[in-house]
Amino acid sequence: MKEFQGRIVAPGCVTAKAVVSHGGLNTLASFQKALQFGDKKATCGDQNNPDLYGKQMAGKALCLPQTIGSTTGGLVLYCACSMKRQPACMLFSEPIDSLAAAGAVLADVWLDDVSMPVIDCLGEEFLNYVKDDMTITIKEGGVVVVE
């Protein structure tokens, strides 16, 4: 078990199984099947991300360095939340980009019955330590526990 301290982007406490990407997450390519074709598991459709391609993202602790891709990234995250196909949480090793932050914050503010805590600035050590299917718990104050 190891604890990491990050910065809270969207608040909340949750426990979920990890799914890990060591490359950037292209939000549009990754969530397109979930948003356009009704995939409730949000199976990652980004063929350029070998860490996540074909894996379920909905309800998982999505661990990643950053998001990449088009300016639709924030809207994609917001829409995934509004359709209840979002990750349980998003955990960034690096500082979050403004587009992903906007999507997470808008979902937190505008959607009453949806939670997707987001923590960033967890550091490279976090991403090197966490592996798929490890249990992640977000506690108060941006503390992330990896078991």
- The whole-number pLDDT of residue 85 equals 97
- The whole-number pLDDT of residue 70 equals 83
Query: Considering the chain, what percentage of its residues have pLDDT values greater than 70?
Result: 100
State pLDDT tens for residues 94-126.
999 999 999 999 999 999 999 999 999 999 999
Domain limits of the chain? 2-146
State pLDDT tens for residues 17-50.
999 999 999 999 999 999 999 999 999 999 999 9
State pLDDT tens for residues 72-93.
999 999 999 999 999 999 999 9
Domain 2-146, second-level architecture: 3-Layer(bba) Sandwich (3.50)
DSSP characters over the chain: -EEEE-EEEE---EEEEEEE-SS-EEHHHHHHHHHHS--TT-B---TT-TTTTT-B-TTSEEEES-EES-TTHHHHHHHHHHTT---SEEEESSPPPHHHHHHHHHHHHH-TT----EEE---HHHHHH--TT-EEEE-GGGEEEE-
pLDDT band at 6 (very low <50, low <70, confident <90, very high): very high
- The whole-number pLDDT of residue 116 equals 98
